[in-house]
Amino acid sequence: MITIKQNAVVITIAILVSLLTMRGLNRLWPSEKRRQYNDLIGWQLSILGTTYAVILGFMLYTVWTKFGEADLNVDSEANALVNLYSLADGFPEAQRIQLQTLARSYADAVINQEWPQMSRGEVPEKSSVISREMWKTVMSVKAVAPTEVNAQERAMGELDSLAQHRLTRILQSRTRLPIVLWCVLLVGGSLTIVSACIFGSESIKLQMLQIFGLSLLVSLSLVAIADIHRPFYGLIHVSDFAFQRARQNMQSP
């Protein structure tokens, strides 16, 4: 899902289809004729509902955990960039200016180019090019003083960390729930709602209210999973705030 309007449309359609299914079933198989099977239907509904609730809860937990991991990884990547910028103060003047300029360019590229690219499902490349330039700059330092040696070693460590977090970010921007899991979620939700529709209730209005609540809950859960399962795409996505903050910390004095 991309917008709130699209989410609302999907939820509305799911509720209407569920209610129309119940109404059509009542015409084809009247409720009073189904009541004699309520014990069997209730047992089936209980098993289906419990199984689907476990699956749905597990999926929600999984996608939200992955979303949190992606958010934390972005923070770590931005922190590594700021650390690298600070370590450049221990380099000779030429390499210091070059490395700090590259660090600011890295933040600008991530914010202005890569975040929009990831939101479109594209693979960003600009930060990788800048990262290679930073490696060249750090390796070009002919460290003599102990402070320069220490700064160079630590800068190499931060560059390695930066590269790992960047790779993780790219991989996370490309991952999504497999189609087979979406089939499980959709089929499970449909079976649960249909089973609730089959139940022979004495009060049609009360059953409609129950179907409305069940279909609303199921559709809301599925929409939430659809919005969260790709951390950098859609309505709910990881913010670039960490790099915005990093860019402010790296402003030229």
User: How many CB atoms sit inside 10 A of residue 151's CB?
Assistant: 22
| pLDDT value at residue 206 | 87
- 122-168 pLDDT, tens digit per residue, is 889 999 999 999 999 999 888 778 888 898 899 999 999 999 999 99
Q: Which residues contact 99 (CB under 8 A, 6 or more apart)?
A: 84, 85, 88, 91, 134, 137, 138, 155
- 185 near 223, Cβ under 8 Å? no
pLDDT in tens, 201-211: 778 888 899 99
3-class SS of residue 80: helix
The C-alpha R_g of the chain, in whole angstroms, comes to 27
Q: What pLDDT shows up at residue 1? A: 46
- Measure the CA–CA gap between 115 and 226, rounded to whole angstroms: 19
What pLDDT was estimated at residue 2? Answer: 65
Give me the percent of the chain exceeding a pLDDT of 90. 65
Dihedral over alpha carbons 109, 110, 114, 119 (to 10 degrees): -140
Q: pTM value?
A: 0.86
pLDDT tens-place string over residues 68-103: 999 999 999 999 999 999 999 999 899 999 999 999
DSSP 178: -
* Nearest one of 175, 171, 168 to 75, comparing CA atoms: 168
pLDDT for residue 175 is more than 50: yes
| Alpha-carbon distances, residue 17 vs 3, 20, 114 (angstroms) | 21, 5, 40
